[in-house]
Amino acid sequence: MAYFNYSKIKEFRIKNKLTQKDLSQSLGISNRAVSKWENGLSFPSSQHIFELSKIFGVPMDIFYSKNSSNIQKPKITGMSSITELYKIGRGPSSSHTIGPEKACKEFLKEYKEADFFKAVLCGSLAKTGKGHGTDTVIKKTFSPYKCQIEFDFNKTDLPHPNTMYLLAFKGKTQIAEKQVQSVGGGSIVWQDEKATPEKIIYPHTTFSDIAKYCTQHNIRIWEYALKYEDNNFKNFMQKIWTQMKDTIHKGLESEGILPGGLELQRKAKTLYESQHIDETAQTRENRMVCSFAFATSEQNASGETIVTAPTCGAAGVLPAVLYYYQKKNGFTDSEIVNALITAGIIGNLIKTNASISGAECGCQAEIGSACAMAAAALAELLDLNFDKIEYAAEIAIEHHLGLTCDPICGLVQIPCIERNAVAAMRAINAVNLSSFLWSTRKISLDSVIKTMKETGHDLSSPYKETSEAGLAKIKL
């Protein structure tokens, strides 16, 4: 078996006297992507390996080693807080909307005396800002103050692909200007600051180790999380659930056309209200769950407030399943929060050992992860044992392997909204299967997460949030 040797990229880049910026421009990707390759945090697709071999003038197989022991791999020492996974903000993108929204809120708070603002979007924020609604979110955040948006497509000397400048004015006088970078996951870095790495608080990085620990201490997965999170964690999670419900409620009330130019009609309200006299219980369940998933996803597509679970594009899966079962079975908010915590551990495992980024591993990393989180949450809610929780999450990921991220026009609408609904139903099916067949399973959740990562790296880059292939090629 051949193993990718990430150290070769840096070795040949330096040998060819290329900077990371030079190499990224040659490949048409960000500096950050090259940096992650060189540090073993992600790996290039087969197409990028082919392009690297041409740039460096070496055969493709030089990037592989037959012995994995010869390759130094970054050591995973633990997992960060679940509060880094669940984030409240405006959709449809954590880097293009939640990050900028956070920056604008901080800037507005610092310059309360201002009466006019300006935001200059550069790099990727300029190129895809319209499609992701970055400009709309910024205007909503600064409202009721007026904010002028400018798109700078020519500025290249950027510290990060997602860079913008915020300016504050009092009357006609400029009183402040700050540069800020949206570095991913809703996190931001102001000029002259360094990105703060996520603090590791969990010592375990595999489901098998967590399950073993929980069994030894006779606790559930959510109780395991409480041992490592801070005293305010339960309050934080209650706010997360409250926001999830609020998003569903608003999505079910909203009608009209989604922004972006596809002229896509909102469907959540129609689904929710389209009850038939002779409707079966199964049909009603499908309709209700899907309406809740549509409600959240349509709010996300409209740039309204959602919770990343684990991402903006997959935000509708988890709340749809939990909200339906709360309404159906009368589970308390406290029980739902415990299920959300269990889902957070599953999401953390995927984030730590694979990826939750569509740009890195395709839609399997977003919708697949969300489905696994929802399946684990529902299994927890139904008080299933560790084996059944694991099997439910494993089924959910396994049957999303290879799913491409190919939104039409780069908008988080087609096929993203429907995928949320389908994944919510699949999560419920995964739990049903696991409750019957758990004793026959052959594959562990940890092994499937590893497979997801490998599959994601093998996916061609046009199928990973670039709008260059798949459904994205369809002209509407």
- Mean pLDDT of the residues in the chain: 90
Buried b (16+ CB within 10 A) or exposed e, 129-146: bbbbbbbbbbbbbbeeee
> Which residue matches tokens 């406290």?
334
What pLDDT digit, counting tens, does each position of 370-425 carry?
999 999 999 999 999 999 999 999 999 999 999 999 999 888 999 999 999 999 99
Q: How far apart are the first and last CA of the chain?
A: 44
Q: Report the pLDDT averaged over residues 292-300.
A: 98
Query: Do strands 88-90 and 305-307 pair parallel, antiparallel, or not at all (unpaired)?
Result: antiparallel
- Top-ranked range on mean pLDDT: pick from 125-134, 250-259, 270-279, 453-462: 250-259
60 pLDDT band, cuts 50/70/90, is: confident
- Top-ranked range on mean pLDDT: pick from 74-83, 130-139, 236-245, 404-413: 236-245
27 pLDDT band, cuts 50/70/90, is: confident
65 pLDDT band, cuts 50/70/90, is: low
Q: Which of 298, 344, 279 is nearest to 318 (CA)?
A: 344
Q: What's the pLDDT score for residue 151?
A: 94
What pLDDT digit, counting tens, does each position of 257-277 carry?
999 899 999 999 999 999 888
Q: What is the C-alpha to C-alpha distance for residues 360 and 364, in angstroms, rounded to an integer?
A: 10
Given a cut of 70, whether residue 70 has pLDDT beyond it is no
Q: What is the C-alpha to C-alpha distance for residues 381 and 398, in angstroms, rounded to an integer?
A: 22
285 pLDDT band, cuts 50/70/90, is: very high
Amino acid, res. 238: Q
Burial (CB < 10 A; 0-12, 13-18, 19+), residue 227, is exposed
Q: What's the pLDDT score for residue 68?
A: 45
Given a cut of 90, whether residue 457 has pLDDT beyond it is no
Given a cut of 90, whether residue 61 has pLDDT beyond it is no
% of the chain at pLDDT higher than 90: 66
Q: What is the C-alpha to C-alpha distance for residues 44 and 50, in angstroms, rounded to an integer?
A: 10
Q: Which of 187, 191, 159, 196 is nearest to 95 (CA)?
A: 187
Q: Report the pLDDT averaged over residues 46-54.
A: 80
Q: Report the pLDDT averaged over residues 183-194.
A: 80
What single DSSP character describes residue 69? Answer: G
Residue 415, preceding bond cis, omega within 30 degrees?
yes
Given a cut of 70, whether residue 72 has pLDDT beyond it is no
Q: Are 203 and 83 in contact (CB under 8 A)?
A: no
Q: What's the pLDDT score for residue 14?
A: 87
Rg over alpha carbons for the chain, rounded to the nearest Å, is 23
What pLDDT digit, counting tens, does each position of 5-23 carry?
778 898 888 888 888 888 8
Q: What's the pLDDT score for residue 74?
A: 56
Residue 118 pairs with which residues in a beta bridge? 148, 167
More reliable by pLDDT, 75 or 189: 189
Q: What is the C-alpha to C-alpha distance for residues 375 and 394, in angstroms, rounded to an integer?
A: 9
Q: What is the C-alpha to C-alpha distance for residues 135 and 116, in angstroms, rounded to an integer?
A: 15
Q: What's the pLDDT score for residue 361?
A: 87
Amino acid, res. 352: T
Q: What is the C-alpha to C-alpha distance for residues 7 and 5, in angstroms, rounded to an integer?
A: 6
Strand ranges in 396-459 using DSSP code E only, listed in sequence order: none
More reliable by pLDDT, 129 or 451: 451
- Residue 363 Cα distances to 117, 314, 332, angstroms: 36, 9, 32
Within its chain, how far is the Cα of 264 from the centroid?
23
Q: What's the pLDDT score for residue 21?
A: 80
Q: What's the pLDDT score for residue 71?
A: 45
Cβ neighbours of 24 (radius 10 Å): 19
Q: Is 120 helix (H, G, I), strand (E, B) or coil?
A: strand
Which H/E stretch holds residue 65?
Answer: strand 64-65
% of the chain at pLDDT higher than 70: 95
